[in-house]
Structure 1
């Protein structure tokens, strides 16, 4: 379907892109149609129309599976950013049209933002500041789609279309059940966890991927689909595995049936402020400067 002839202008329909992203994430037309609340034949027609608009094949499909082509994978990546930017445009326009001074600040679990918020409102008594708790999956997406003006994020984070300003770093700890073989130790190395099951995205603990002599598991159990800290800790308490968290997060979620052991040979967790690279606005930049001063010595 690819056409390498003379380039032409294409007005991309955001609705078609939204439909395509649903199919790309589900890799199943039936589930995507249910998620979008539309009929499957309608969805199929919209995807074909998008392929015709772009003059590339986005998906390969047979009776048993649906897969992205290389072009489809590229469009998926670009579409996610484009849809987020469109959502942010709308939210920012509505905010300005409302005529109210307002700032929304996102934050990851374990990070307290009160001091920076109070410092800004002290300078601007009429300013309304809202806060929004984010997660590992959407900490920078919330910035791109306009849900927040800026956000306290934990690295590594998706850097696309955002500016990042380092604030502070902190040690990381392993969270274990009270009866675990390593419970009670003052500190451990990451290799001490080699035989454990990690209940989080390995990207959050890059050192995990490089563990030496990690014993193979002949009957690996699937890692539960967990998103929140609370869910992860429930599984740890239920003897399903372990997690490695920033110290502030682990302390915030202290439980009597769990313990925390410092992991001394991995990089500390880095906290940054993230805001949109597209015209962030003076209040956003002022807040970033205040936060940098307040957190200069750590959380």
Structure 2
């Protein structure tokens, strides 16, 4: 078998994500016939069919599903390799650190910089959606993450835990309370994935089998891109969210109230980097983070 062509893999992933050759071709800025030929060539190289196409549309075969699962990390690793090589060619040693909202990496960054005066350290703010993507594609060397994450392809080292609070509108009936129980929130509209707060999910399902924050009287949860967007919905009285305690300190505002929720698990803060990377700087940063960052 010949070596896998990364360009063909990128074409395949575009089609697999859109399940539409026309839209994938537009995204890739190539003609649809060219894209179709490249996909056929990739199928010939593997000796399998990757897509089923009929009048109803395009669907992945079992082989296509497997290739999609493996292609994404492979392409991300290729992007990471390219970024690291380009940074090395710049003649200045650099080290990039991802961090989630509420997490302060300044102490660790300063400690590492003091040990390596010529090292340029760049912090990069991440979100729930990309806190591990930035590791896979090489935008950062390490990322201070909040669990849960998909650990595949990553080395993950726990740092510390912190309590979580519930955010609600300032005029919410529970807004004056310092502490609330998870059962008090079972009827609320949750503006985040229930899997992130399994304690709420289980109580809400017991309260109502149609719960999970998506009951018939509640609209679907939008695809939020930031904490700020979620808090706008909270302030408008359209639901609640659970946040780590440190995030609360960064988003104090008069139209939002916070309360401690002692009967949900704390948030785990960890350090993540690409599995298999043997970097003395990464190990040194991990040791400093363990010493500097405990809550």
Deviates more, 1:213-222 or 1:180-189: 213-222
Q: What TM-score do you get using the length of structure 1 for normalisation?
A: 0.90
Counterpart for residue 123 of structure 1? 115
1:215 CA drift (Å): 5.5
Give the secondary-structure state (helix, strand or coil) at the position aligned to 2:89: helix
Equivalent residue in structure 1 for 2:260, among 255, 262, 272: 262
Aligned length: 289
Counterpart for residue 293 of structure 1? 291
**1:193-215, Cα deviation, whole Å (9 max, x unpaired):** 22222222333223343232236
Tell me, yes or no, if the aligned pair for 1:149 and 1:280 is still in contact at 8 Å.
no
| Change beyond 3 A, Cα 1:189–1:61 | farther
Gaps in structure 1 of 5+ consecutive residues = 1-8
**1:258-294, Cα deviation, whole Å (9 max, x unpaired):** 1111121111000001111122411111111111111
Equivalent residue in structure 2 for 1:214, among 203, 208, 229: 208
Give the secondary-structure state (helix, strand or coil) at the position aligned to 1:187: coil
Counterpart for residue 187 of structure 1? 179
Q: How does 1:146-295 map to 2 (within 5 A)?
A: 146-211=138-203, 212-214=206-208, 216=210, 217-295=215-293
| Change beyond 3 A, Cα 1:40–1:91 | same
Gaps in structure 2 of 5+ consecutive residues = none
Distance 1:74 1:181 in 2: 49
1:15 CA drift (Å): 1.3
The reply to whether residue 140 of structure 1 matches residue 141 of structure 2 is: no
Distance 2:96 2:177 in 1: 41
Deviates more, 1:217-226 or 1:235-244: 217-226
Deviates more, 1:268-277 or 1:196-205: 196-205
| Change beyond 3 A, Cα 1:238–1:54 | farther
1:25 CA drift (Å): 2.2
Tell me, yes or no, if the aligned pair for 1:195 and 1:215 is still in contact at 8 Å.
no
Deviates more, 1:141-150 or 1:45-54: 45-54
| Change beyond 3 A, Cα 1:72–1:192 | farther
Equivalent residue in structure 1 for 2:25, among 28, 33, 38: 33
The reply to whether residue 61 of structure 1 matches residue 53 of structure 2 is: yes
